[in-house]
């Protein structure tokens, strides 16, 4: 296994955009795959903007930004361009059946010694890996949003993940300038388990009328020094993704994780969060929160 060379990123949503940007800046050719053409276009536009912003802030040379842009190609499916890839990062919708189909396609298209990573927020890495004949080369690489800013990658060992895969994943994480922790597989790992619980409780409190959304967020910022409140964080994560994580954790860890009915309503209403311009709060086209806006609960 190599910790250098081409990277295939599958899923060009919130996370895939940041992950593709990170590997391209670190010098890897990136094939960014998404079944949705609009999403592919949006992702390449956002990556270009991230790179241009990096140049404007003096963090990146203009020539480096231009070569990072040139390293990214897109496709609607994992195709022959993946035949010389060293790493695949699956970061599609949080759904086991989708992740299984992507892993099967990856196992068929990538070299036999490529590392296959999943960015699942909570699902079982062992269960995802069971889709293919070589589960030893499947590992969790859990990135955080927004990827360019967040330092940690949680590396999750599935039951069958071997030592070489773990060592290679750690090398890749170092290569993109991030820090890591290694976690033995458990539902929601170390991070999503806590963050999903807190976000869910914040929504229960909002639905009960305990305090306004602004004050619940302010409480966590000022009382506990969190950089953002749990409702702001849910808007950033996406309540559709948050709901899928809670539903899974509810089935495996029990009642504490039962999703707040308010989250179910929000997702049905299309209030998925900042990525669509509306969640607990509303956002303008630049993703900036509109003061006094948002969900009216009572
Ligand atoms: N949002 C977060 O803060 C966050 C943080 C860490 C991990 N994650 C995890 O990362 C993954 C992606 O989350 P996201 O927030 O980027 O979701 P998203 O909804 O923004 O993007 C998911 C993308 O996957 C694409 N997709 C669906 N099926 C596909 C397929 N078969 N092949 C290729 N593309 C496909 C969709 O078109 C969409 O663009 C999920 O597993 C999620 O749990 C999310």
Tokens 């994560």 locate to 237
Burial 77-96, CB ≥16 within 10 A → b, else e:
ebeebbeebbbbbbbbebeb
In the structure, which protein residues have their CB atom closer than 6 angstroms to any atom of ligand 1? 10-16, 33-36, 39, 91-94, 98, 101-102, 119-121, 142-145, 237-238, 241, 275
Name, in order, each residue with C-beta under 8 angstroms of 15's C-beta and a sequence gap of 6 or more: 91, 119, 143, 145, 147
Q: What is the mean pLDDT of the chain?
A: 97
296 band by pLDDT with thresholds 50, 70 and 90: confident
What does the pLDDT read at residue 294?
A: 83
100-133 confidence digits (pLDDT tens): 999 999 999 999 999 999 999 999 999 999 999 9
Domain positions in the chain are 6-184, 191-276
Measured in Å, residue 58 CA sits from the centre of ligand 1 at: 30
- Peptide bond just before 146 cis, omega within 30 deg: yes
Whether the Cβ atoms of residue 117 and residue 91 lie closer than 8 Å to each other:
no
Rounded average pLDDT over 27-41: 98
Whether the Cβ atoms of residue 225 and residue 133 lie closer than 8 Å to each other:
no
- What is 6-184's CATH number, 3.40.50.880, 3.40.50.720, 1.10.1060.10, 3.30.70.2190? 3.40.50.720
Does the fold of domain 191-276 match that of domain 6-184?
no
Measured in Å, residue 94 CA sits from the centre of ligand 1 at: 6
Measured in Å, residue 273 CA sits from the centre of ligand 1 at: 14
10 band by pLDDT with thresholds 50, 70 and 90: very high
State how far the Cα of 178 lies from the Cα of 116, in Å rounded to an integer: 19
What does the pLDDT read at residue 243?
A: 97
The answer on pLDDT for 24 being more than 80 is yes
The answer on pLDDT for 203 being more than 90 is yes
270-281 confidence digits (pLDDT tens): 999 999 999 999
Whether the Cβ atoms of residue 43 and residue 34 lie closer than 8 Å to each other:
yes
> In residues, how long is the chain?
298
Which pTM does this prediction carry? 0.94
Measured in Å, residue 222 CA sits from the centre of ligand 1 at: 31
Residue nearest to atom 11 of ligand 1 (CA): 91
What does the pLDDT read at residue 297?
A: 82
What does the pLDDT read at residue 298?
A: 65
**Fold (topology level) of 191-276:** 1.10.1040
């Amino acid at each position: 296994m190599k910790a250098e060379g081409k990277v295939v990123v599958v899923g060009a949503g919130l996370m895939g955009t940041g992950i593709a940007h990170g590997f391209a800046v670190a010098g890897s050719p990136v094939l960014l795959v998404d079944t949705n053409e609009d999403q592919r276009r949006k992702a390449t536009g956002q990556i270009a903007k991230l790179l241009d912003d990096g140049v404007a802030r003096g963090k990146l040379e203009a020539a480096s930004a231009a070569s990072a842009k040139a390293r990214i190609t897109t496709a609607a499916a994992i195709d022959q361009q993946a035949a010389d890839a060293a790493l695949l990062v699956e970061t599609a919708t949080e759904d086991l059946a989708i992740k299984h189909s992507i892993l099967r396609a990856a196992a068929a298209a990538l070299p036999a010694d490529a590392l296959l990573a999943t960015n699942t927020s909570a699902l079982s890495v062992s269960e995802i890996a069971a889709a293919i004949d070589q589960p030893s080369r499947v590992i969790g690489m859990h990135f955080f949003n927004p990827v360019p800013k967040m330092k940690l990658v949680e590396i999750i060992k599935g039951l069958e993940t071997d030592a070489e895969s773990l060592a290679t994943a750690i090398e890749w994480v170092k290569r993109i300038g991030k820090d890591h922790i290694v976690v033995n597989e458990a539902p929601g790992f170390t991070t999503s388990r806590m963050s999903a619980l807190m976000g869910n409780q914040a929504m229960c409190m909002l639905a009960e009328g305990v305090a306004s959304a602004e004050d619940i967020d302010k409480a966590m910022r000022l009382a506990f020094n969190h950089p953002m409140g749990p409702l702001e964080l849910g808007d950033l994560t996406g309540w559709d993704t948050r709901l899928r994580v809670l539903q899974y954790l509810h089935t495996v860890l029990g009642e504490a994780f039962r999703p707040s009915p308010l989250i179910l309503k929000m997702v049905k209403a299309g209030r998925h969060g900042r990525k669509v311009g509306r969640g607990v709060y509303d956002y303008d086209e630049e993703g900036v929160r509109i003061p006094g806006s948002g969900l009216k609960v009572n």
